[in-house]
Chains A and B, each alone.
Chain A
Amino acid sequence: MERRKRGLAQVLFYGGALLLAIWTLLPLLLITLAAFTSRSELYSWPRSFLPRELSLESFLYFAKAHGVMEATLRSILVALLTILISLLIGAPAGYALSRFRFRGREAFRLGILMTRMFPTSLLAIPLAIMYINLGLYDTLLGVSLMHVTLALPFVVLTTASLFMKIPYDLEEAALTLGCSRLGAFVRICLPMVTPGLVAAAIFTFVVSWNEVYASSVLTLRNRTLPAHIMATLEASPLNFRFAGGFFMTLPALVFIFIIRKRLLHMWGVAINK
Chain B
Amino acid sequence: MVRILRKVQLSYLLLAPTLLFLVLFFFVPLVQVVGTAFRARGGGFTLAHWQRLFTDIHFPDALKNTLLLALLIIPAQLVLAFLAALIINKQGRGSTALLYIYAIPLGISDLAAGLIWLSIFTERGYLNSLLQNLGFIERPILYLSSRSPQWLVAAVVITEVWRATPLVMVILLSGLQMIAKDYLEAAEIFGCSWWQKVRLVILPLLKPSIQSALIMRTILAFQVFGPIVVLAGRLLPVLASESFHWYAIIRHEYIASAYALLLMVLSVLVTWSYLVLLRTKEEQLGVM
Contacts and interface: CB of A to CB of B under 8 A. Distances in A.
B265 to A, nearest CB: 11
B32 A130 contact: yes
A272 B175 contact: yes
A128 B106 CA distance: 28
Contact of A272 (B28, B102, B174): B174
Contacts of A252: 107-109, 112
B32 A263 contact: no
A17 B101 CA distance: 11
B83 A20 contact: yes
Interface string B1-43: 1111111101110110111011001101110110010000000
B3 A168 contact: yes
A69 to B, nearest CB: 18
B29 A123 contact: yes
B199 interface: no
B118 interface: yes
Given A28-B116, A44-B124, A245-B116, A123 B33 contact: yes
Contacts, number: 294
Contacts of B209: 272
A128 B253 contact: yes
B103 A260 contact: yes
A188 interface: no
B219 interface: yes
A120 interface: yes
B11 A96 contact: yes
Contacts of A125: 33, 36, 243, 247, 253, 256-257, 260
A200 to B, nearest CB: 14
Contact of A47 (B30, B98, B124, B244): B124
Contact of B118 (A130, A167, A245): A245
A105 B33 CA distance: 28
Interface in A114-130: 115-123, 125-130
Interface in A205-251: 206, 209-213, 216-217, 226, 229-230, 233-234, 238, 241-242, 244-245, 248-249
B62 interface: no
A49 B106 contact: no
A164 B80 CA distance: 33
A264 B166 CA distance: 11
A37 to B, nearest CB: 9
Interface of B: 1-8, 10-12, 14-15, 17-19, 21-22, 25-26, 28-30, 32-33, 36, 80, 83-84, 87, 90, 98-112, 114-120, 122, 124, 126, 128-130, 132-133, 140, 162, 166-167, 170-171, 173-175, 194, 208-209, 212, 215-216, 219, 222-223, 225-226, 229-230, 233, 240, 243-244, 247-248, 253, 256-257, 260, 263-264, 267-268, 271
Given A13-B87, A30-B116, A89-B21, 18 more contacts: A34-B119, A34-B126, A47-B129, A93-B15, A102-B12, A108-B15, A116-B216, A119-B219, A119-B222, A125-B33, A129-B32, A149-B26, A210-B111, A226-B109, A242-B118, A245-B116, A252-B108, A264-B103
Interface of A: 9, 13, 16-17, 20-21, 23-25, 27-28, 30-31, 34, 42-49, 88-90, 92-93, 95-96, 98-103, 105, 108, 111-112, 115-123, 125-130, 145-146, 148-149, 152, 156, 164, 167-169, 172, 181, 206, 209-213, 216-217, 226, 229-230, 233-234, 238, 241-242, 244-245, 248-249, 252-253, 255-257, 260, 263-265, 267-268, 271-272
13 contacts: A45-B140, A92-B14, A99-B2, A118-B26, A122-B260, A123-B30, A149-B25, A210-B112, A212-B110, A212-B111, A229-B115, A248-B109, A272-B171
